């Protein structure tokens, strides 16, 4: 295999065979193909795209670059969800235990936040002691016992994606539909699923800005699922305002717990139920009942305990991660909220330290926003539109100015 030839062919709009893509990914995983060649290849794909056959072959090569889940014969339906990223998106924390209540297995392998998009692993790690770094053997035993595991990508799980995603992040090659498809689907298909539901976001807080782009990504991921005999459903969701009323790691866990207890914001509950209904194989009303009667919350407690956390800590997460500075931002006038720009709120949260700029950065669990207003609500002058949790007064002032820009209040609509 002569890598410069493959790069040049893709640069000129040509197609690569499955064997060539397999060789490229195997060489990269083994350290034989250097980063500079993989960045050039990613850029060529960014501009030239890939055919559905190439995308499927790339996904397959990345899936098998490491170890995959192998479920025992006669296993229950194995299901999962994936969201293409959003602001305040704590859906996974509710979805996984809820769907496990239906008797499905949920081997959820999640990622960390990057840029303005939050990550499930960062939220889970806000729970003291919660271990996301567990082996596939341990995960398999936990699935037998509880039906749910929430973990990070191990060194041996889709290693090609782990390396390449970090490289794409610093070479401007993340927003390419075939590369996103292969990256996401390789990880999800390595869970050896029967059914997958995709929450494909579009709007200000995501990398798919328009519904058309989101549709194209959904179609590409469905096509790969079809090739690999996994039932894939995609639900398109606008991400113009954050999901729920919190953005920030510990604050989002607290809101997810409210939802797991039958409360919390309506948009969060309804999104969780939409996604769970698509794969759980039980009616929506039954799923809603498991939120309302405490079953889903009990399953989450068991999950936390199994992975090293203490359910008692969940009751005092707000105290464990109390930010030193808290301040409300008042409405500038009487009126109706017409805009809560998710992208800008995400930027403000990143500025506060809730997210990471680079893959190697850490995150601050305590900072972010809660009590965020929702579009359509009526506010009165001075009434809080959100509460900022910050590390310092300076950070808080910067975030307050950003939030004032992010939230629109129309005084003619009361």
Residues forming the site for ligand URA (CB under 6 A): 111, 165, 174, 179-180, 183-184
Distance CA 356, CA 113 (A): 7
* Minimum CB distance to ligand URA, residue 172 (Å): 13
Whose Cβ is closer to ligand URA: residue 184's or residue 407's?
184
User: Angle of helix 295-306 relative to helix 91-101, nearest 10 degrees?
Assistant: 100
Give the active site residues.
Answer: 82, 161, 168, 183, 187
| Residue 409 β-bridge partners | 337
* Minimum CB distance to ligand URA, residue 374 (Å): 26
Distance CA 263, CA 307 (A): 25
Q: Which residue, among 257, 209, 208, has the nearest Cα to 90 in the 3D structure?
A: 257
Q: Which residue, among 293, 281, 182, has the nearest Cα to 231 in the 3D structure?
A: 281
Q: Are 44 and 175 within 8 A, CB to CB? A: no
Whose Cβ is closer to ligand URA: residue 179's or residue 259's?
179
Whose Cβ is closer to ligand URA: residue 183's or residue 220's?
183
Whose Cβ is closer to ligand URA: residue 49's or residue 384's?
49
Whose Cβ is closer to ligand URA: residue 174's or residue 236's?
174
Q: Which stretches of 183-324 are assigned E, i.e. beta strand? A: 195-202, 231-238
* Minimum CB distance to ligand URA, residue 190 (Å): 12
Whose Cβ is closer to ligand URA: residue 120's or residue 302's?
120
Whose Cβ is closer to ligand URA: residue 112's or residue 297's?
112
Q: Which residue has the tokens 């469905």?
A: 222
* Cα→Cα distances 71→82, 99, 196, 230, 299, Å: 20, 18, 16, 15, 21
Q: Are 389 and 248 within 8 A, CB to CB? A: yes
The sign of the CA dihedral 315, 119, 277, 77 is negative
DSSP track, 216-242: HHHHHHHHHHHHTT-EEEEEEEE-SS-
Q: Count of CB atoms within 10 A of residue 59's CB?
A: 29
Q: Which residue, among 199, 229, 218, 196, has the nearest Cα to 80 in the 3D structure?
A: 196
* Minimum CB distance to ligand URA, residue 165 (Å): 5
Query: Which residue minimizes CB distance to ligand URA?
Result: 183
Distance CA 199, CA 188 (A): 13
From the centroid of its chain, how far is CA 208? 14
Q: Which residue has the tokens 């919350």?
A: 297
Q: Which residue, among 150, 151, 143, has the nearest Cα to 76 in the 3D structure?
A: 143
- Count Cβ atoms within 10 A of the Cβ of residue 336 and give its class: 0-12 exposed, 13-18 middle, 19 or more buried: middle
């Amino acid at each position: 295999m002569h890598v410069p030839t493959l790069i040049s062919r893709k640069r000129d709009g040509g197609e690569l065979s499955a064997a060539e893509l397999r060789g490229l990914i195997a060489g990269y995983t083994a350290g034989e193909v250097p980063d500079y060649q993989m960045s050039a290849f990613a850029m060529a794909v960014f501009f030239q795209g890939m055919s559905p056959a190439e995308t499927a072959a790339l996904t397959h090569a990345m899936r098998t670059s490491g170890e995959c889940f192998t479920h025992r014969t006669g296993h229950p339906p194995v299901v999962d969800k994936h969201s293409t990223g959003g602001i305040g998106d704590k859906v996974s924390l509710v979805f996984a235990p809820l769907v496990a209540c239906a008797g499905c297995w949920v081997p959820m392998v999640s990622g960390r936040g990057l840029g303005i998009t939050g990550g499930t692993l960062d939220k889970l790690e806000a729970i003291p002691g919660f271990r996301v770094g567990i082996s596939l053997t341990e995960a398999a035993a936990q699935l037998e016992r509880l039906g749910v595991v929430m973990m990070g990508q191990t060194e041996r799980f889709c290693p090609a994606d782990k390396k390449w995603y970090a490289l794409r992040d610093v070479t401007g090659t993340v927003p390419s539909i075939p590369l996103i498809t292969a990256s996401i689907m390789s990880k999800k298909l390595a869970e050896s699923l029967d059914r997958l539901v995709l929450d494909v976001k579009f709007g200000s807080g995501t990398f798919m800005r328009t519904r058309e782009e989101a549709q194209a990504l959904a179609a590409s991921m469905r096509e790969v699922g079809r090739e690999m005999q996994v039932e894939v459903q995609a639900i398109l969701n606008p991400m113009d305002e954050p999901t729920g009323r919190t953005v920030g790691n510990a604050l989002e866990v607290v809101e997810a717990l409210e939802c797991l207890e039958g409360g919390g914001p309506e948009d969060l509950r309804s999104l969780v139920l939409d996604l769970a209904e698509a794969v759980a194989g039980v009616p929506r009303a039954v799923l809603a009942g498991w939120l309302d009667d405490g079953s889903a919350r009990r399953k989450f407690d068991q999950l936390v305990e199994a992975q090293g956390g203490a359910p008692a800590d969940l009751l005092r997460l707000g105290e464990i991660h109390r930010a030193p500075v808290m301040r409300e931002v008042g409405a500038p006038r009487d009126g109706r909220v017409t805009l809560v720009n998710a992208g800008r709120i995400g930027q403000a949260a990143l500025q506060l330290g809730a997210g990471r700029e680079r893959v190697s950065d850490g995150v601050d669990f305590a900072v972010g926003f809660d009590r965020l207003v929702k579009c359509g609500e009526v506010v009165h002058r001075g009434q809080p539109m959100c509460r900022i949790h910050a590390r310092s007064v300076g950070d808080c002032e910067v975030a307050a100015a950003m939030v004032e820009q992010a939230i629109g209040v129309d005084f003619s609509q009361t």
